[in-house]
Structure 1
């Protein structure tokens, strides 16, 4: 296995973020500077983006991610995880655990692959927790809209062991773009997370009063501040899935970024996932902006134009399509202000005390 260079021969920061071509021509992040130090012989690199051990594909420099996120787009705290939050070392003795499947799903399957018609699908298997464990198997998956999935895609989800699809869209969104689940093996539960601009017209006020990127960013912050109370009535339903063995669960909305982003962050916090790993996973949804085609950008522009009666700038469109640290932080700060902490939120609104959280983690994390 090639190891990263040191000293005078070490690759520069610009080189570490250079994109290389691989995986059918898609852009990948050059991870030649993984962790920035000499890896010990009992360590292997692990990719935050595609959730695979890089040694399995024979090189440190290339891996099959389709995500296009540069280190400069990540908050400073994420970089502590190594290589701008993308890669970390995994001890050799953990390799077997990473490939094991406590949920009985997809052993040895690559943990990141786009489904037909999706831009933002991924499994959260292997994310690290604060106590040094990891999420075991494909317990939680996330995605954008699923209405274009083909039978082979549903077969892939079945191979992951998915039992429940948690649909955060509104009734009108579900009726317009219905999911076509298999007749057996999976069920769908609707959890309408209505804390966005469709349910609260006042959220668009910053877009009207402050034209440009600044207004769009403030609108997104306000929307995220609504999420904790919008999700709160559904938390008991959501965590009942884990108690009653109705997971793996696939959580999705339309773009899999905002409503799904906060909901998944709450689940990850309940499982004890490290804060920097929660943020790093959320930031992978930057792909929504990076990979948005002309049709999606045009649709976003039409919405802005209808709200403001003015032509939007490209920066406004980018701000709405993007996943930015300040957005998720707005929701988490609201939780802290109202409940003291995420644990206080889970206790007050989901009935999860310390004992319940410990049981949840013991069941769905790798054994110590």
Structure 2
């Protein structure tokens, strides 16, 4: 058996250098090729040849914009594609690609097809240029009407805006808001986000289902799903999507908790004075309001306990057809290469 590339990871450092690492079965040399889109990567013009004694290289002077990196055994074999998980933007910090996750059938979610993000209301001219490179067709906006009015999307007009408000019903109780307004933050329960997610799963099942149905439409991709933080409402939609594509729970939860790195922690410096005034210490904030792994884990477990599986939940109250799920898997999962 020759060398097989098992996984590739790409991280951009502060100077713009791409640090690329990979896992191998075997110890042969590999070639690396890059391109601005998955389709444009050309292994006929590799940018690096790395011998079998190393599984890491830094790629410099690749030029502006986002780069997809493909690693392939030098003697021939299946290539594995990867890119930076986070799209580097000035006006949004939690804009992430959902590609590269392994699925139960041995495939991987396709890069450059579905992104998740925080609100795109502060995008700069440089951001718009970077987003234009992504080729987005649709933005599924899960914010309420009030949120959209206060912070209108700055995405290019060519990106079709589809509002799917979650949590916008004024008749629904807002216990968290009541606790904050009354100054009773100490009464916030440890499982607050789990309760919010369960309520979302029950009250907004049809909306979440419409998001996934939209992705399966002929003109539904590439797409970005976003709310305000890109953490809770977006987190629910993405967890359901990845689960039904066959991504295991550990990976789904890894993706969810990245919001604590790219959104929650970046807010901390701005929130510290307000947190102190409310009597909420930093550790408590992170545990309850960040992206705690247990909150989404308990939510997925509860949905399975109630409906049997995530797929049954989606085809039940979510209103997603089995055909739509099959289309999502066909379009969003690259089959295993042998």
TM-score by length of 1: 0.66
Unaligned residue ranges in structure 2 (runs of 5+): 1-11, 31-37, 39-46, 60-70
- In structure 2, which of residues 219, 227, 238 is the aligned counterpart of residue 264 of structure 1? 238
- Tell me the CA shift for residue 43 of structure 1: 8.9
1:105 counterpart residue number? none
Aligned residues: 292
The CA deviation at 1:137 is 2.7
Cα shift at 1:129: 1.0
Q: Is the 8 A contact 1:286 1:322 kept in 2?
A: yes
Shift in Å, 1:56: 7.0
Partner of 2:122: 148
Greater helix proportion: 1
Instruction: Write the mapping of 1:1-368 to structure 2, written as runs, cut at 5 A.
Output: 23-24=13-14, 40-41=26-27, 92=73, 93-95=77-79, 98=81, 110-183=84-157, 185-194=158-167, 200-203=173-176, 211=186, 215-238=188-211, 239-287=213-261, 288-299=263-274, 305=278, 311-368=279-336
User: SS of the counterpart of 1:330?
Assistant: helix
Aligned counterparts of 2:206 and 2:320: Cα–Cα separation in 1: 14
Q: Distance in 1 between matches of 2:335 and 2:93?
A: 32
> 1:140 offset after TM fit, Å?
0.9
Alpha-carbon separation, structure 2, partners of 1:279 and 1:350: 21
Alpha-carbon offset, residue 326 of structure 1: 0.9
The secondary structure found in structure 1 opposite 2:255 is: helix
Checking the alignment, whether the CA contact within 8 Å between 1:252 and 1:260 is kept in structure 2 is yes
2 CA distance for matches of 1:247 and 1:233?
A: 20
Shift of 1:276: 2.1
What TM-score do you get using the length of structure 2 for normalisation? 0.72
> What's the CA shift string for 1:135-194, capped at 9, x where partnerless?
2231110111211111321222221121111111111111111112223x2111111111
Shift of 1:243: 2.4
Structure 1 pair 40–240 and aligned structure 2 pair: CA distance change class (3 A): same
* Cα distance, 1:210–1:186 mapped onto 2, change above 3 Å: closer
Contact 2:139 2:159 (8 Å CA) reproduced:
yes
Distance 1:252 1:276, change over 3 A: same
The structure with the greater share of residues assigned to strand is 2
Structure 2 SS opposite 1:264: helix
